[in-house]
Amino acid sequence: MAQTDNTRHNAQHKATLKAAHRKNRTRRHGTPHPTTLRRTLRREAPSTVGLLVDAQDFAAMRHYRTFPFDDHTVYLHQVEGLLKTLAAQGMHATIALFDPEDYAEFCAESGIDADTGASRSRFTAEIAAAGATVAYTGQSLDDLIPVLVSRAVRQATWEYATLLLADLGTCADCGQDIGRAAFDRASHLLMRLLETAGPGAHHLVCSVPTDNDQLLAVLHTHRDTTGPARLDSAEGAEFATVLAVAVALESRGGVVLRTSAPDSPDRVHGWRLAHGGLAPLTAGEVFNAYCTDADTGEPVSPESGVEYCAGFDIGAEPPETHR
């Protein structure tokens, strides 16, 4: 009898082990455990970090009770550690510029409490969706921050220039949108400039003074000996928008082109905006513009291996007249 009970007990134990084995095998080869699924989803959910790049912005955030940091250097170190951890876990991370003034305005307009981590997280998501970001690929913050600031400045410049063009209204003669016409004209000037610049790596800068600020746009292109110039479409649109402001406002803005090619010195050419077109500068004017400090007006030593050349005729069509 005891042997029969033992036999029955052993049979039940084996059956329990087989059932557990089948369950584990099903989980291993079938539907993963819920915890595993959540971990997979977490790895595939991108992360965004709102970064306070300078000490002044950091000091502004310290006024919030829930902001946990009191030292900017420590804060940057912790951010970099977080980014490295996310990258080690195979997660994609982007960095957005966190502006305390914009954050306060956002919270006031949204009717939310600014002194919470949830509000900071919500604002970060908003600026990442609409503003400038940089993807983290393992670079140091010292390398990442200048790129982020540059992109934020470009974004702000483009937005401001777009608003200026939008506020110009329509032509009293033909009813055409003046801002749109100016953008079309600027695009034509840019395309003609790139077509006549020839082969090489081209670096263009457009500078336009306005009542409130000095607008700057930069464009990098490359053109082989055959085929058209290759350029980033976003950079091209930004450059054309700033140039359009100069066209529409009849500003005294200017354009500088620097061309690099193998086995030859860099060449620098320049133009001024005049009557909706690009009027070539002389070689002396280009030299003076390029070798003068824009802030102090003091002369700057010319670069070695650079030729300062007159602007050239880009063959643009004559502009239409609007008022």
What are 203-224's pLDDT values in tens digits?
999 999 888 778 999 999 998 8
Are residues 182 and 241 in contact, defined by beta-carbon separation less than 8 angstroms?
A: no
User: What's the chain's Rg over C-alpha atoms?
Assistant: 30
Which pLDDT value is given to residue 120?
95
pLDDT of residue 259: 94
Rounded Cα distance between 168 and 323, Å, is 10
- Residue 32 in contact with residue 41, Cβ under 8 Å? no
In this prediction, residue 42 carries a pLDDT of 59
What pLDDT score does 229 carry? 81
Q: What is the reported pLDDT for 30?
A: 54
Low pLDDT (below 70) residues in the chain:
1-46, 294-295, 297, 321-323
Query: What pLDDT does 227 receive?
Result: 77
- Angle 250-297-242 from CA coordinates, rounded to 5°: 30
User: For the chain, what's the residue count?
Assistant: 323
Question: Does an H or E element contain 43, and which?
Answer: helix 34-44
Residues 6+ apart with CB under 8 A from 181: 171, 248, 320, 322
- pLDDT for the residue 18: 47
Question: Which pLDDT belongs to residue 69?
Answer: 95
The predicted structure's pLDDT at residue 252: 83
Give residue 111's identity as a one-letter amino acid code: G
pLDDT at 2: 41
Question: What is the torsion angle, in degrees rounded to the nearest 10, for the CA atoms of residue 252, residue 159, residue 202 and residue 243?
Answer: -30
pLDDT at 210: 83
Nearest Cα to Cα of residue 245 among 143, 152, 147, 168: 168
Find the helix or strand (DSSP H, E) in which 96 lies. strand 93-97
**pTM for the model:** 0.73
CA distances from 236 to 11, 14, 183, 190, 272 (A): 77, 73, 11, 9, 19
